[in-house]
Structures are given as C-alpha cells and as structure tokens.
Structure 1
Amino acid sequence: MSTDDLDLKEAVRTLLLLLPRVVGRVKRSPIPPELASFALAPRHLSLFAYLQFDGPMPVNELAKRLEVAPATVSLMVGELSRKGMLERREDETDRRRTIVSIAPDRAAAVENWLAASDRAWRVAMEPLTPRERRLFVDTLGAFERELSRE
C-alpha cells in the first residue's frame, strides 16, 4: 500500500468528517436574489436539476426520479406553478398526463442556482478517468441506499 492509499478505517473516518461539511456547504449555497422571495429549499434543487438537465417531463416521471410519491411531486409542482416557477401543460399525446417545465422567465435564475454545484463537481471529476467517475458515482449511490435502509 502506498502512502497515498487509505485503509478502510481511515477512509470511513475521513468521509465521516468530510460529508457533514459538504452537506453544510450545499445547504448554505445562496439562492439567487431573483429566486429569494419564493421560499425555495434544497429539496427543490433536485426537481429543478432534473428539469434543467433533462427538459420537461411528466409528473410521474419526476416522482420516479426523485423517489417520492406522485402526490408529493404534484403538491410541489402546484405550489411552484402558483409562484410562477414552473409551468404545467397537458401532454398532447395523453391528456391525462401533465408535463412540467421550468417557466421560461425563471430558467436563467434556476441555471444560476445550479451553476456553483455544477462547477464544483466538474472540477472535482475532471481529473478522474471515466471508470473512476463511475466508481465514485456508484459508491455515493450505494452509501445513500444504505442510509435509506436504516
């Protein structure tokens, strides 16, 4: 083992000390001034990220990706639509489905809110190989799944 390697105990110790700081910084990331009056929370960030990166989508698809009940997403979408953050429209191919998108006049502000984390992840991930990135993403996902089992 080289001096740069971590054994399991030291890796876990390091992550237990690091993760609370990371979460704290993410929670303190400033909401852009143009969004400050909307009482947004970190839980909204994931919803906006899916819509920003993947485009408009049905409520049920958002619920699946966010791993919450469709009713929960419907409530969030209703609240954010009333505030002018999101737009809802009927799906042209299936009128029972509602398609959700970021309101065009809020898209730049949402992109600005996501930008700091996007930049930080790009800087952190750029030196890694694609295989190392996959390992990191899979490991973080496994950690989250294990926490949710408890």
Structure 2
Amino acid sequence: MLLLDGPLSVSQLADRLSVAPTTMSLLVGELSRKGVLERREDDADRRRRIVDISPASRPAISRWLSPGARAWQRALAPLTAEQRRLVVDTLLAYESAVAEAQEDA
C-alpha cells in the first residue's frame, strides 16, 4: 500500500488491509522499531500519525515489490472502479476457498 499509494495514516492502512486499527498499530510499531517504516505527525491533524516506508528500506522494498505492483497497475488501469472491486472480491473469494480446502484436507 505504502509503495503504491504513498504515506497513509494507521487507520487508512487498517481499512485498506481489512484489519483492526489496533492490529495495524501493532504491526506499524514493530516495523518502525525495525527501521522498515517511519511514523510522523500529520500536519493537518496532530493526533494522527502518518506512516511511510523509511528511506533506508525503500530501495529494497521497491526492488522486491515493484515488478508485481507495476504489472497489477497495468492490468487494472483500464478497468472501472466497480470492475477492479470485482477482481479483488474474486481473488479474496478464491483465497478463502483455498484456505477452507486446506482445513478440510
């Protein structure tokens, strides 16, 4: 998310990744302590924290994720927001079905 969309608040990350804000805050805290992410105050609202990839980690993360991210961007770009939502929902349904199949095995 941060590589593609740029800096986001903890609550925005939680919402986009469908996790609880508390969980996201814990993940961001751990990755911040390891130097992968950095947090700063939001200039518009000092109560909010903005999260971004640390400058030291950005090159490695970019090398690791960018080829796939660029391919997804290119594949999804011609679609409408509704069509992109359908693709994402389909992938989530597939992931759920695979997980259920593994539990049944």
TM-score after normalising by structure 2: 0.72
Gap regions ≥5 residues in structure 1: 1-49
Cα distance in 2 for partners of 1:56, 1:62 equals 9
Matched-pair contact (CA < 8 Å) for 2:4–2:69? no
The answer as to 2:54 corresponding to 1:103 is yes
The 4+ residue runs of structure 1 with deviation greater than 4 A are: none
TM-score after normalising by structure 1: 0.53
How large is the Cα RMSD of the aligned pairs? 2.9
Q: Secondary structure of the equivalent of 1:80?
A: helix
Shift of 1:119: 5.1
Corresponding residue of 1:142: 89
Q: Secondary structure of the equivalent of 1:100?
A: strand
Cα distance in 2 for partners of 1:122, 1:114 equals 12
- Given the superposition, is the C-alpha separation of residues 79 and 60 from structure 1 closer, same or farther in structure 2, using an over 3 Å criterion? same
Greater C-alpha Rg? 1
The answer as to 2:40 corresponding to 1:89 is yes
Gap regions ≥5 residues in structure 2: 101-105
Cα distance in 1 for partners of 2:10, 2:63 equals 24
> Which amino acid in structure 1 is aligned with residue 54 of structure 2?
A
Q: Identity over the aligned pairs, expressed in percent? A: 47
The answer as to 2:63 corresponding to 1:112 is yes
